[in-house]
A and B are shown apart, each in its own frame.
Chain A
C-alpha cells in the first residue's frame, strides 16, 4: 500500500494549503497559540526563541536573560529568516515544511512495514493495516499537529528528527540515522533514550539488507561511537558559537533540574511547586530515573518489535518528561496508527480517547478560569492535566498489553482468541 506520488502530492499540497491558509486568515492566531502553556513550554516556546534571537543578533549572549533555553545552533539557523514579528511568512513556510518532512518520514516508516513484521517477528494480524496515505493524513490533519505547527513550537523540529531517525532505521541507513538521532538528542536531550530500540531496529534491517548478520558487538560499538562523536561535534560547535560551555546549564540543565515551573500538560510542575526544597533533588532523580528506566526494560522485553518500543517511548515522553506539550502527544498519536494490527486487541481505546478529547477541551477552559477569570485555581488545571496524562497512559498501557498479547499468539497459537486476564 505504498503511497503513489500523485496521491502524496495531493495530500501534502492540501496539508500545506491548510496551514498557510490558517496562518494567513488568522494572523493573530500563531502568537496567541504560542502563548498557550499547552503548546509552548519554556524549552520549546517560539516566543523565547525570538527573545534569544534578538539577543543573539544584538551581540548579547542569548542565555543572559534567563529566558532562552533552546540549544544555541537554532539561533544562526533562525537568523537566516526575516524577523518573524514583522515578516512571518518565511517562518510559517519553514514550519509548514517541517511538518511535511515529518509526514514524509512517517510515510517511509509506514511503507517499510516494520511495524507489524520484522526479521524476527511476524504478527499474525499483519495484513491488518491502514494505508500510508491515511497514516500520513492522520498526522498532517491532526488538530494537535496543526496547533503545534501554528504555535511554531520547536518541538516540531525535534519530532521531525525523531521521525527521520525512525525512517532511516527502517531503511537500514546507518549514517543518516545517526545524524538524525543525534540532532534530535541535541535539540531535546530525551530522544537519546530512543537510541537503543532504534539501534536494534537498524540491526535487523541491516541484517535483512546485507543478507548476513553483522557482528552485533562491533555494530553496537561503531554506532554508539558514531552517536557520541556526532553529539560531541554538535555540542562543540555550539560551544564555539556561544563562546563558552555555559549554554549547557541553560539548556540541558533546565531540562534536567526543572528550575522553570511554568504550568504545562505534564505531571512535574505541580509536584515540584508543592515540593519541599530538601526533597527536590531526590525526587528529580527519581522522576528522571523513572523516565529512563523504560528504555532498557522495553528494549529487552520487546526486542523483536523495536519500532513498537520506540513508539511507546515517545508516548512515555509525552507523559513523563519534565516539559511535555501537546506536540509530544501529537508525535505519539501519529505513530500509533502504524500498529493497526494491535487495535483489535486493545480494550480501552474509547476510554483513552474520550479522556484525551475531553481534556483537550476542558484544559483551556480551566486554565482560563484559573489565570484570567480568577475564579478557579491551579488545582483545576492540574486536575485536567492529570486526566490528559491518564488518557495517554491508558493508551500506552493498553497498546503494550496488545503487543504482548500479539506476541503470545505467535508463541502459543493454541491460545489464540482465548480470553486472557492481566494479573
Chain B
C-alpha cells in the first residue's frame, strides 16, 4: 500500500506522461533481448526424464531377425494397395490386421472445408493386453500419406509388422491400438474425435470398438518404397493443434531411446544439421515458436494433444545407414516405456521451448518475454487514459491529497513545456471542452462498466462503441474465409487486402465529416484498443506463448503511432507503416518470404478451422485485426 501511495503521488506529476513511450519501447526491447539470450547455456537446461516409471531404454528389443522378412512382406503388400480404391484398400488392410489375431474396425469420415471434399477411411485394430484391465490404451499409427504428401509405405508396413509382433508378447499392461489413417491430419482427427464422442455423426462414423483412456500416441512416417531406404536421422515432430505441446517426458523418452539405445540421431523443427551452436539453437527455437504460433497440425499426432493425450510423430529423414528395423526397435522400446506408465504423464512439462534434442527452456524462463510485450500495451493504454483526461482539467488533484489553488498554478507552469506534441494539439482544443464545472475532479480511474456511456468529463460512449464494433467487424472476414470455396479464396484475399487497407481511411473520412471523434475521443479509442490488446495477449500467452509473442511484436508499432495534428507528412508516414503491418499484408508477405503458396495457406487455414479446431484465425481477426483497425483509424484521422 505504501508503494501504491507513492505511485499515486507520482501521478500528479505532469512529467510522468513523458515516460510511457520510452518505457514501452524499453519493455519491447527487453522482451526481444530476453528471447535472444535463451539459447545460452545459462538460461537453458539439459532435458531429463522426470517420470520414474518410464525407464527408457532399459529393455532388450527383439524386433529383428525373422521379423525383418515379415516387415518386407508387409511392405510389398502395402505397396500393392496404396493405389487401390478406398473400399478395397480398407478390406485388404483389415484382412492383414485380422490375420494377426486382432480386433479390427473401420471408420469412414467426410469433411468439406472451403468446398473441398476430404473423405477417406481409417482402419484400426485393438490389441487387448493379455493381463491388462482394458482401462488404458496407447496408440501406434501411420497414415497412408505423409505430411509431405508421399506414400507412407514403410510406415504403414511397420505398424502392421509391429502389430503382429506385439501380439506375441504377454507383458502389455495397456491395450495397444494400431491405427492406419487415410491422410495424415484429418484421418487421426476424425478418429480421435470419434474416440471421445466429440464428432458429428452425420459426416464422421462412430467407432464400433473402443478401448480405455488413451495414455499416449506415436505416429510413424517412413516414406520408403517397396525396396527400402536407409535413413540418417529421426525427425521428431511434437507440435499439437493450437500450439499445445505434449509432455516433454514423452519427447525425452523417444530421444533417449533413439539416440541412446539405438544410436539413431534425433533432430527437430527441420534442422537437419544441428551442430549445437548458438545460431542453430536460436534458429531451432524460433522455428519451434513459429510452428507453435501458427497453431496448425504438424502431423498425425497433433489431433491427440488437445484431448490431453501426449503424442509425437517419428519421421525418417536423410540418407544414412539406419534401417527399418532400427526404427521398429525404437518404437518397440518406446512402447515398452509407455507400457510402464502408471498414470498419465503429469510432471509440469507441458510448456517448453526446445533448442535441440537434448536442451530446453522451461516456461518460467521464457514467459516474461511475451508478458513484457503484452505489458507494453497495457502501459500505453494507461498513459493514453491519463492523457485523455488531462488537458481539460486543471490538475488531477483529489480532494484528499492537496489544496487546489497551489496545484493549479503548478500545473499551469508546467503545461506548455512539459507536454508532448499530442498534448499541445489538445491544449488547442481546450476552450472547446465543456466548462470546468463538471470536470473539477479526477475520475481518471473509473473504468467501471457504468462509465460506458457519456457521462461527464470523458466522452466514453463513442470510443467504447467504436472499439466494440471493430471487434465485431472482425467476425465478417473470419466467417468469410472459413466458408468461401477454394476457387474464390485467392480473389477474396486480394479483395480483403484492398478493403482492409482502405477501410480505416474511409472510416476516418466519414467520421471527420461529423467532426468526430474529437482528439480526446480518438485518444480514448486508441487507449481502449490497446487495453484490450494487452489483456488478450497476456491471457493468450498462457495458452499459446508463441502466438501471443508473434502477434505482440507485429502490433508493437500500434503503441507508438499517434493522431498527428500538425504535419500531414507524419500522418502519412505513420499510415504507410501501419498499412505494411496490416494482418492481411503480413500474411501475404509471410507467404512470399516463406515461399509458400498463398492459396495453400488459405486452404489449410479453413481446414484448420473446420477439421482441427484451430483458433489462429480467431486471434487474427478478433484480436489482431481490430487492434490494427482502431490504430489505423486514429492515425488516418490526422489526414483529414
Which residues on A are within 8 Å of B, measured CB to CB? 125, 128, 130-131, 133-135, 137-139, 141-144, 333-334, 336-337, 343-351, 353-354, 357-358, 361-362, 364-366, 368-369, 372-375, 405, 409, 416-420, 422
With the chains together, A141 CA to B346 CA distance in Å?
Answer: 42
Bound-state CA distance A337–B447 (Å) is 11
Q: Are A333 and B542 in contact (CB under 8 A)?
A: no
Binding stretch for chain A, among B313-321, B436-444, B490-498? B436-444
Residue B209 is within 8 A (CB to CB) of chain A in the complex: no
User: 19 more A-B contacts (CB under 8 A) besides A138-B452, A416-B399, A418-B403?
Assistant: A134-B454, A138-B451, A138-B453, A333-B448, A334-B450, A343-B441, A345-B398, A350-B447, A351-B4, A354-B447, A357-B535, A361-B539, A362-B542, A369-B543, A373-B244, A374-B344, A374-B346, A417-B402, A422-B1
- Chain B residues with Cβ below 8 Å from A362 are 538-539, 542
Q: Which of B382, B445, B447, B536 has the most CB of A within 10 A?
A: B445
Q: Report how far A324 CA is from B542 CA in the complex, Å.
A: 25
Residue of B nearest to A353 (CB): B447
B535 and A405 within 8 A (CB): no
Cross-chain contact B542 with A347 (CB below 8 angstroms): no
**A373 with B398: CB separation less than 8 A:** no
Are B445 and A350 in contact, CB atoms less than 8 angstroms apart? yes
Most A CB contacts (10 A, CB to CB) among B402, B456, B542 go to B542
Q: How many residues of chain B get a CB closer than 8 Å to chain A's CBs?
A: 43
Report the nearest B residue to A405, measured CB to CB. Answer: B400
Q: At the interface, yes or no: B567 with Cβ under 8 Å from chain A? A: no
Inter-chain CA distance A137–B449, complex, in Å, is 9
With contacts A142-B449, A416-B399 known, is A374 near B542, CB below 8 A?
no
| Contact assessment for A134 and B536 in the assembled complex, using a CB-CB cutoff below 8 Å | no
Tell me, in angstroms, the Cα distance from A130 to B461 when the chains sit together.
14
Does A348 lie within 8 Å of B451, measured CB to CB? no
Q: Is there contact, CB below 8 Å, between A130 and B456?
A: yes
Q: Is the CB of B351 within 8 A of A375?
A: yes
B475 to chain A, nearest CB (A): 10
Contact indicator B400/A417 (Cβ below 8 Å)? yes
0/1 string, B1-14, CB within 8 A of A gives 1: 10011001000000
B536 near A336: Cβ-Cβ < 8 Å: no
Most buried by A among B346, B351, B543: B543
Any chain A CB within 8 A of the CB of B401? yes
Residues in chain B near residue A141, CB distance under 8 A: 449, 452
Query: Is A349's CB under 8 angstroms from B450's CB?
Result: no
Considering the chains assembled together, what is the distance between the CA atoms of A422 and B403 in angstroms? 19
A419 and B448 within 8 A (CB): no
Specify the chain A residue showing the minimal Cβ separation from B7. Answer: A351
**Shortest beta-carbon distance from B532 to chain A in Å:** 9
Q: Given A130-B455, A351-B4, A358-B535, answer yes or no on A138-B449 (Cβ-Cβ < 8 Å).
A: yes
- On whether A344 and B442 interact (CB within 8 A), knowing A337-B450, A419-B402, the answer reads yes
Which chain B residues border A365 with CB–CB below 8 Å? Answer: 539-540, 542-543
In the complex, chain A residues whose CB is within 8 Å of the CB of B378? 354
Partner of B308, one of A350, A366, A372: A372
Q: Say how far B321's CB is from chain A's closest CB, in angstroms.
A: 38
Residues of B at the A interface (CB closer than 8 Å) are: 1, 4-5, 8, 244, 306, 308, 344, 346, 350-351, 378, 382, 398-404, 441-456, 535-536, 538-540, 542-543
CA distance A143 to B401 in the complex (A): 33
Q: A343 touching B542 by the CB < 8 A rule? A: no
CB distance from A327 to the nearest CB of B (A): 14
Q: Kindly report which residue of chain A lies nearest to residue B451, judged by CB atoms.
A: A138
Give every chain B residue within 8 A of A347 (Cβ-Cβ). Answer: 4-5, 8, 398, 400
Secondary structure of the B side of the interface? loop
B400 interface neighbour in A353, A372, A375, A420, Cβ under 8 Å:
A420
Inter-chain contact B448/A374, CB cutoff 8 Å: no
Which residues of A are found within 8 Å of B404, using beta-carbon distances? Answer: 417
CA distance A344 to B439 in the complex (A): 11
Contact of B450 among A333, A358, A375, A417 (CB under 8 A): A333
Pick from B8, B351, B398, B543: contact of A368, CB below 8 A: B543
Complex-state Cα separation, A137 to B543, whole angstroms: 34
For this complex, 7 residue pairs linking A to B, each with C-beta atoms less than 8 Å apart, are A125-B399, A334-B450, A350-B382, A361-B535, A362-B538, A374-B344, A417-B404
The reply to whether A137 and B452 form a contact with Cβ atoms under 8 Å apart is: yes
A351 to B3, CA, bound (A): 12
| Residues on the B chain within 8 Å of A361, using CB | 535-536, 538-539
Least CB separation from A377: chain B residue: B348
Task: Name the one of A336, A357, A366 contacting B542, with C-beta atoms under 8 angstroms.
Answer: A366
Residue in A131, A144, A369 whose CB lies within 8 Å of B449: A144
Q: Which residues of B contact A372 (CB under 8 A)?
A: 306, 308
Q: Smallest Cβ distance from B100 to chain A, in angstroms? A: 33
Known A-B contacts A142-B449, A336-B450, A365-B539; A343 and B399 likewise in contact (beta carbons under 8 Å) = no
**Which residue of chain B has the shortest Cβ distance to A409 in the bound complex?**
B399
Select from chain B the residue with minimum beta-carbon distance to A330: B449
Least CB distance, B563 to chain A, in whole angstroms: 24
B1, B378, B450, B453 — which one has the most chain A CB atoms within 10 A of its CB?
A: B450
User: Measured between alpha carbons, how far is A350 from B452 in the docked complex, in Å?
Assistant: 16
How far does the alpha carbon of A350 sit from the alpha carbon of B447 in the complex, in Å? 7
Write the nearest CB–CB distance from B349 to chain A, whole angstroms: 9
Using known A-B contacts A361-B535, A417-B400, A417-B404, determine if residue A134 contacts B447 with beta carbons closer than 8 Å. Answer: no
A53 to B1 Cα, complex, angstroms: 49
Query: How far, in whole Å, are A336 and B5 apart by their CA atoms in the complex?
Result: 23
CB atoms of A344 and B448 under 8 A apart: no
Q: Report how far A354 CA is from B534 CA in the complex, Å.
A: 11
With known contacts A351-B4, A362-B538, A343–B450 Cβ distance under 8 A: no
Cβ of B308 and Cβ of A374 under 8 Å apart? yes
A343 to B389, CA, bound (A): 15
Among all A-B residue pairs, the 5 with the closest Cβ atoms: A138-B450, A375-B350, A337-B450, A350-B445, A349-B445
Q: Which residue of A lies closest to B536 (CB)?
A: A361
Residue of A nearest to B400 (CB): A345
Cα(A143)–Cα(B450), bound, Å: 11
Q: Bound complex: CA of A369 vs CA of B453, how far in Å?
A: 35
In angstroms, how far is the closest chain B Cβ from the Cβ of A71?
A: 30
Query: Which of A337, A348, A375, A418 is the most central at the interface, judged by chain B CB atoms within 10 Å of its CB?
Result: A375
The distance from the CB of A67 to the nearest CB of chain B, in whole angstroms, is 22
* B382 contact set on A, CB distance < 8 A: 350
B399 & A344 in contact (Cβ 8 Å cutoff): yes
Taking CB atoms, residues of chain A closer than 8 Å to B403 are 417-418
B residues in contact with A346, CB < 8 Å: 445
Q: B453 touching A137 by the CB < 8 A rule? A: yes
CB < 8 Å neighbour of A343 from B443, B538, B539:
B443
**Best-surrounded residue of B5, B398, B454 (most CB of chain A within 10 A):** B398
**Once bound together, how far apart are the Cα atoms of A338 and B155, in whole Å?**
69
Least distance between A243 CB and chain B CB atoms (Å): 38
Most-contacted residue by chain A among B8, B400, B401 (CB, 10 A) = B400
Distance A366 CA – B46 CA, assembled complex (angstroms): 28
Known contacts: A368-B543, A405-B400, A417-B404. The answer to whether A134 contacts B455 by CB under 8 A is yes
Q: Given A130-B456, A368-B543, A373-B350, A138–B448 Cβ distance below 8 Å?
A: yes
Q: Is the CB of B535 within 8 A of A345?
A: no
Task: State whether A344 and B402 are in contact (beta carbons under 8 Å apart), knowing that A143-B449, A333-B448, A351-B4 are contacts in the complex.
Answer: no
A353 x B445 contact (CB < 8 A): yes
Q: Contact check: which of B308, B350, B444, B450 meets A139 at CB < 8 Å?
A: B450
> Does B538 lie within 8 Å of A358, measured CB to CB?
yes
Q: Quick one: closest A residue to B403, CB to CB?
A: A417
Contacts of B445 in A (CB 8 A): 346, 348-350, 353
List chain B residues, Cβ under 8 A from A369: 542-543
A343 with B446: CB separation less than 8 A = yes
CB neighbours (8 Å) of A336 from chain B are 448, 450
Bound form: Cα–Cα A131–B539 in Å: 35
Which residue of A has the minimal Cβ distance to B540? A365
